[in-house]
Amino acid sequence: MTNIDSLPFSARGNALIGQEMFKVLDNAKKLELDGKKVFHLELGSPRMPPPEEIFQETIKALENKLTGYTSSSGLLELREEIGRQYSLNQKKIISSEEVVISPANLLVSQFMDLVCDKGDRIVLFSPFFPTYLAASSYIGLDVQDIPLSVKDGFDLSIEAVDKSLATHPRAIIVNSANNPTGRVYSQNVLEYLAKKCNELGIWLLSDETYASIAFGRPFFSLAGLDYPQLVVISSFSKIFSIPGFRTGYAIANKKVAEKLSLSNSTLFSCAPAFTQLGCLAGLMQLQEYGDKLKLHYQKTSKEIAKIIRRSSVLEIIEPDSAFYLFVDISQTCLKDTEFCELLLSEKHTATTPGSSFGKQFDNFVRIAICGNIEDVQEGVNRFMAFVEEYTAKNT
């Protein structure tokens, strides 16, 4: 008979770590259940009102009882529109057969499982989005962490790319605009990375989830490159402020897109029709809504950065893109997890420890500035008050 404390899980089962932000969220929710008001700066959960058209179309589809299965690749009309919009901005035509609908977070695991076997090496440039590490750990990949330099503002350099290639990886993940640093990488370096991967037969995942809310350095998408081992992923979560829709997409050559579609069919059959139709309606508003978002986030991140800079204790680098500020807390002499725990318990303000984005960043904390603006401001004020009180007490 089985001992409940030593259940025989698989290697994958034992390697599960999940996402730190969701653990912070669960702790924050416990405080809320006790009747406390919590200021959420932990999750990249945008609170800007989404385009009304998304709700109208989703509700219309529900009223029309579109509750059946759909194609495993995603609705043809949505894939066509994504292809059409990308084709406008790229040097090549992207057809519906090169687009697959799936939650962007899931696409990270789907990509890794399609191209990597257990023990294969994958490069992550750190700081990185925690799902990359969680999925790599779960799948049993050999993660090669290439840290970007804080002195360069966490920009991706030719040197960092060369260093990553020298490890002879099976796959590389690149994330511009970056979560958590907000850095947008230069066209020059991204093209160099893709060209080298092409020459060396290395799989490349370009996560462009935050692309259309980049307001600093001009964003460059890899989707226009003709490279068979390149997969570009993005999400409607951030660009339309609808993370709860769980809808994203991949752009890849037909052979890879077919595999991703089979992966969808095997794992979850298909995506709901009504959320996909909602996202399609959103795409018609992308330009206008995106411009509004950019202005809003640029203004907010400038304001918040200014407040943080008032403290002589904290350091930040101004981002090119929403939703985050990656704050150096070294001078508080607190490690990130203790900092976040104290901040939550004393000031009811939730943030994400820097080490979630690469273990060497335990002197950083990530602040998400995409929530309700009054809550973000009050949360940041509490964050600052905590830092000031703590450092006054301990110096």
The answer for residues whose C-beta is within 8 angstroms of residue 316's C-beta and 6 or more apart is 305, 308, 309, 325, 326, 327, 328
Element (H, E) at 324: strand 324-328
**17 contributes a contact to a copy of itself by CB under 8 A:** yes
Q: Near a copy of itself by CB under 8 A, which window of 93-101, 273-281, 361-369, 374-382?
A: 273-281
Subset of residues 181 to 220 that bind a copy of itself, contact rule: CB under 8 A: 198-199, 201, 203
Closest contact distance (angstroms) between CB of 7 and a copy of itself is 6
| Piece in contact with a copy of itself (CB under 8 A), picked from 10-18, 83-91, 147-155, 341-349 | 10-18
Residues 338-357 that bind a copy of itself (CB under 8 A): none
| Triad 52, 55, 56: Cα angle to 5° | 85
Using the rule CB under 8 A, is 271 a contact of a copy of itself?
yes
Q: How many Cβ atoms are within 10 Å of 383's Cβ, its own excluded?
A: 26
Taking CB under 8 A as the criterion, which residues in 215-234 touch a copy of itself?
A: 228-229
| Closest approach of a copy of itself to the CB of residue 270, in Å | 7
Of 215 and 274, the one with the shorter C-beta distance to a copy of itself is 274
Is 119:136 a contact under the CB 8 Å cutoff?
A: no
To a copy of itself, the closest distance from the beta carbon of 166 in angstroms equals 20
Q: Footprint of a copy of itself on residues 89-118 (CB under 8 A)?
A: 103, 105-106, 109, 113-118
Residue 167 vs 268, nearer CB to a copy of itself: 268
Task: Rule CB under 8 A: say whether 65 interacts with a copy of itself.
Answer: yes
169 and 197 in contact (C-beta within 8 Å)?
Answer: no
Q: Considering the complex, what minimum distance in angstroms separates the CB of residue 200 from a copy of itself?
A: 9
Q: How many residues bind a copy of itself (CB under 8 A)?
A: 82
> Does the protein bind a copy of itself through residue 267 (CB under 8 A)?
yes
Stretch of residues binding a copy of itself (CB under 8 A), selected from 68-76, 149-157, 180-188, 288-296: 68-76
Element spanning 251, H or E: strand 248-251
Among residues 39, 50, 161, 325, the one that binds a copy of itself under rule CB under 8 A: 50
Residue number with CB closer to a copy of itself (93 or 268) = 268
Per-position b or e across 290-309, b if 16+ CB within 10 A of its CB:
beebbebbbebbeebbeebe
String of DSSP letters for 294-308: HHHHHHHHHHHHHHH
| Site for a copy of itself contains 8 (CB under 8 A) | yes
Q: Does 74 bind a copy of itself (CB under 8 A)?
A: no
| Alpha helices (runs of H) in the chain, residue ranges in sequence order | 11-14, 20-33, 52-63, 76-89, 104-115, 130-139, 158-165, 187-200, 236-239, 254-267, 273-283, 286-310, 336-347, 373-394
- Other CB atoms closer than 10 Å to residue 220's CB: what's the count? 20
Token pair in block for residue 151: 């002195």
Among residues 31, 262, 305, 373, the one that binds a copy of itself under rule CB under 8 A: 262
Residues in the chain: 395
Rounded CA separation 254/126 (Å):
30
Q: Which region among 252-260, 282-290, 327-335, 343-351 touches a copy of itself (by CB under 8 A)?
A: 252-260
Q: Is 261 in the site for a copy of itself (CB under 8 A)?
A: yes
Q: Which two tokens stand for residue 390?
A: 């703590």
According to the binding rule CB under 8 A, does residue 43 interact with a copy of itself?
yes
Stretch that binds a copy of itself, among 14-22, 158-166, 297-305, 314-322 (CB under 8 A): 14-22
For 118, other C-beta atoms within 10 Å of its C-beta total 10
d(CA 249, CA 234): 6
